[in-house]
Structures are given as structure tokens and as C-alpha cells.
Copies of this chain bind each other. A is one copy, B any other.
């Protein structure tokens, strides 16, 4: 039976990306060696890294003066690496969800942290607004989390602030256009929209580096990786290669503008069904609804059917649809590789299930 992958991350990837990666694992570029066993210093691997950087710059229209690096360790490591490199005295954070809160917590080790806005009191069911005006003028930076994977809220505009702007875009990077010139740093684990798990992307404004008043461990200092083009130590070779295949796929399919259009189309279909269906309701304020993670629960009067619907949808091929325990219910994650076919299969399951009750 055909499976429809709604995993929140690691998550669905385009079939051709999967097949091309498997092929290179069997024989990398006809070299007779596997992608798993080539040296990162091999002359055939440098072009992989170079093309990834070039595609990042092209697809996100990254201006001159920015570097793109690929690290291991996950976005969670960035929660400490960002303040270690950028926090001088005081930083402002928007606490819009679980991951935002984790980022904020790590920053406290490096200086004063101002929570300029939060939706914690409403279980993060909306994206805080008006936070731009609340950022202290002397903050070293404002940190935002553009998409909240667990709660299904998203900020799809680039905030306008007078201080340096830093964003965790782990769950919506490369799914929509971004004005990179507004940011000092953008980072994201790649395992949602752009690669298998194991690589983290960081986009950095070069002239903002090296200002923090502390001696950094070599691996924590972004300059180490910028100067060595992500080759200071052995990078995660296969995850990076899978990212290259993904970036090529994104480009071939119309870039981030087309990706955003498809994301909106998928999300609109699903939210419309959630709003229409008598069994379900969305958990997020309409204005904050994410295109990436679509969260909904059963209406109170049908609450006891939750497990039954989960089994019903699973039998029809839906995978990874359980909501995070902080929200409950269901979550359909629709990253770049998600298809209209998948969304329609999910909607059909919701309709057919409704017809029974």
C-alpha cells in the first residue's frame, strides 16, 4: 500500500532525491567507491559543497557579504553557538514555542536575555505580534523562530527591527522566499525541508562575526567554519550530498517561490477540510497558521474517536500524523516534498471517517 509521509522531521523527501542518493552510495560518480567511503578531501567532494553553497545563494538570493556553512550537531547546538558568537551583553528573544524557549534558555548562559513576547500563556496557539516595538534598542540581537514545528504556528514575514536579526528556520528554511539582507544569521537543521538528518545550515553575515567578548572553543567559533568552507573537520558527507540533491530538486521545481506556492496550496486544502469537517478543529489562530505543520484535534463531542481515526488513517497509508504530546490530536507536516496527492489522501480519510459518524 502506498504510504503518505507526514513525519514532522526527519520527514518526506522527493523520491528522485532518495534514489539518486542511494545510487551514489553504491557508486559515487562512477568512481568505483561509495559516497559513504570517499574522503571529504577528495576532488569529487569539494564540488558537492561548492554547489550546495552556490544553490543556497541562488535560491535564497543571498547578497554578497554572507557565508553559508554546513555543520553537524543539529540546530540544538546552535542554541548555544548563536549567543556564544553574538551575545555581548543583552539579547532579545521571542518565545513562540518549545524550540524558541530552548534557544532562549541557552542564551542565558552568555548574558542578559529579554523575552520580548510570548504566547506561552495560550499554549503557543498564536505567533506573538507587535514584538518588533518591544525590542530594546541596545539589544545585541533579536532571535526569532519562524516556524514552530510542535504548535503549528509560523511567521511568514521578515520582521523589521533596528537591531541584528537572527532566525531559527529549522522547519521552514527553503520553503518560501526570505529577505536574507534583513538577517545577521539564519540557521536550521536540514532534516525537514532540505536533507536527511545530520547536517545543519548556518547563513552568516560576515562582518558581524568575531565581536563577542569571549574566547570561543575552536569548533564553536563560526569563523573557524567560514574560513575553512565547512571543511575544518570531517563534515557529514552523505547528509550534505542528500542536501545537494534536494537543492537541485527545489531549483528544478521553480525555486522557493514555487515551493511557497505549493506549500500554501497544500495547507489551504487541509485547513479548509479541518474547518469544514464536523469532527475536527484546528488548534492555532487563523492568522498564525503554519504551512508546514498543520495541527488539529477532534472536537470535544468526538474526543473518544481519536484513536479510532488514527488507526483508520494509518490503515490508509498516513504515516507520522500523531500530534506532539504538548498539543495532542493530529499533525500533518507538509514540507517541500509533500504532494497534493498526499494531502488529498489525508482529506479523503477525514471525509470518509466523518461519513461514518
* Contact surface of A with B, Cβ cutoff 8 Å: 1-3, 5, 7-13, 17-19, 21-23, 25-26, 31-40, 42, 71-77, 79-80, 84, 102, 105-106, 109, 189, 191, 196-199, 215, 217-220, 232-239, 242, 317, 319-320, 337
B197 and A237: CB pair below 8 A?
yes
Task: Using A25-B25, A80-B217, A218-B80 as known contacts, say yes or no to A191 and B234 having CB atoms under 8 A apart.
Answer: yes
Distance A239 CA – B217 CA, assembled complex (angstroms): 25
A198 and B236: CB pair below 8 A?
yes
A236 and B39: CB pair below 8 A?
no
B13 and A36: CB pair below 8 A?
yes
| CB closest residue in chain B, given A216 | B109
Give the one of A1, A2, A74 with max B CB within 10 A.
A74
> What are 16 pairs between A and B in contact, CB < 8 Å?
A5-B33, A9-B39, A10-B39, A11-B39, A22-B23, A33-B319, A42-B320, A72-B72, A72-B236, A73-B219, A76-B218, A76-B232, A77-B219, A197-B236, A198-B237, A236-B236
Interchain CB contact (< 8 A) of A10 among B23, B40, B197, B232: B40
Task: Tell me how many chains of this kind the complex includes.
Answer: 2
List 18 additional A-B contacts (Cβ < 8 Å) besides A8-B39, A42-B320, A239-B239: A3-B32, A9-B39, A13-B37, A18-B26, A18-B36, A25-B25, A39-B320, A40-B197, A72-B74, A72-B236, A77-B219, A102-B218, A105-B218, A189-B234, A198-B198, A198-B199, A236-B239, A238-B239
**Distance (Å) between the CB of A83 and the closest chain B CB?**
9
Main secondary structure of the interface of A (DSSP, over half): loop
Distance A275 CA – B159 CA, assembled complex (angstroms): 68
A21 and B3: CB pair below 8 A?
no
Distance A10 CA – B238 CA, assembled complex (angstroms): 11
**Distance (Å) between the CB of A45 and the closest chain B CB?**
9
Q: Which residues of B contact A13 (CB under 8 A)?
A: 34, 36-37
Give the one of A13, A71, A84, A198 with max B CB within 10 A.
A198
Task: Using A25-B21, A198-B237, A237-B196 as known contacts, say yes or no to A219 and B37 having CB atoms under 8 A apart.
Answer: no
B18 and A37: CB pair below 8 A?
yes
